[in-house]
Each structure stands twice: as C-alpha cells, then as structure tokens.
Amino acid sequence: MKILVAGHGALPEALVSSARMIGGELPGVASIGLFPGDTPQDLRDRMLQLLADFPADLILTDLAGGTPDNVASLVAKGGQVASIRLIVAGASLPLLLEFALSGTGIEELDSDDVISETGAIVRFRAPVD
C-alpha cells in the first residue's frame, strides 16, 4: 500500500519522519505540505507531479476541510490519478502507523475499523473536587 500524507506546513514531513522512528523505513509512505504563499493550484500541481511517480492508494490529510484535504479530494474526484482508492482526513501517528504497517492492500483492510481503532482517547482525567 502506498500512502501520501498531505497537510499544512511541516506537519506531513514530520509525521512521516516520526512514524519511521517507530515503524522503520516505511518505503510506501511519502508526504506533501502546503506552505504560506502556496496557492491551491500550486499544491495541486505538486501533488499531481508527486503522484505520477508515487501512485498512492491512500491519502491521509491533516484536517477535514483544510486546503490540502480539499485539493486531494478534488484531485481524486477529477479522476487524473487512477491509483487513489481512499482519502481519510485527520492524519495522526497511530492512524498512519496502522495503515503503513498493515502489510496488506487497501482493498483488504476495513478502513472504518482502522479509523475507529486509532481515534483519540482520554488517558487521564483529574478527579472532580
């Protein structure tokens, strides 16, 4: 499975680099960031260029409704990149690792399960006095 992480600023690259600390090399993972001054078209053009060499099945975006998420959705809906099977907004370290380390193709995974199993959880709550 090839995964592209798309998001704001340095976050995608940092997320991938942190995932590699835990999961090893992760050759099937790449990242793309939107930086101040980039227009949505700039990001689209760079994303299309990247996807031409790296045909991702899955795009994880950092924020639903943010520009990287919107551009990825439009690129997928535009049909120019046949490899894209799924876009999921809300990229996080557990979500990325779960997909990247699954060892199977995107079609064999129940992506809704992966998403629900990697959500945020409360680990401590101060007692109410």
Partner 1 sequence: MTLSLVRVDDRLIHGQVIAVWLRALGADVIVVADDETAEDEFLKDVLILAAPSGVEVEVYTVDEAAPRITELAASSQRTFVLVRSPISVLRMVEQGVPIPLLNIGGMGAASNRSKLYRNISASTSEIDAMHALERLGTKVEIRIVADDSAVSFSSVAPPATNSNGV
Residues that bind partner 1 (CB under 8 A): 36-37, 40-41, 44, 63, 65-67, 70-71, 73-74
CB-nearer residue toward partner 1: 28 or 66: 66
CB-nearer residue toward partner 1: 73 or 111: 73
CB-nearer residue toward partner 1: 55 or 78: 78
Handedness of CA 47, 51, 52, 53 (dihedral sign): positive
CA gap 62, 56 in Å, rounded: 16
CB-nearer residue toward partner 1: 71 or 100: 71
Q: Is 74 left (phi over 0), alpha (psi -120 to 50) or beta?
A: alpha
- The pair of structure tokens assigned to 45 is 């053009």
Q: How far is the CB of 108 from partner 1 (least distance, A)?
A: 29
Number of neighbours of residue 26 by Cβ within 10 angstroms: 17
- Tell me how far apart the 2 most distant CA atoms of the chain are, in Å: 58
Q: How far is the CB of 74 from partner 1 (least distance, A)?
A: 6
Q: Are 32 and 43 in contact (CB under 8 A)?
A: yes
Q: How far is the CB of 109 from partner 1 (least distance, A)?
A: 26
Q: How far is the CB of 42 from partner 1 (least distance, A)?
A: 12
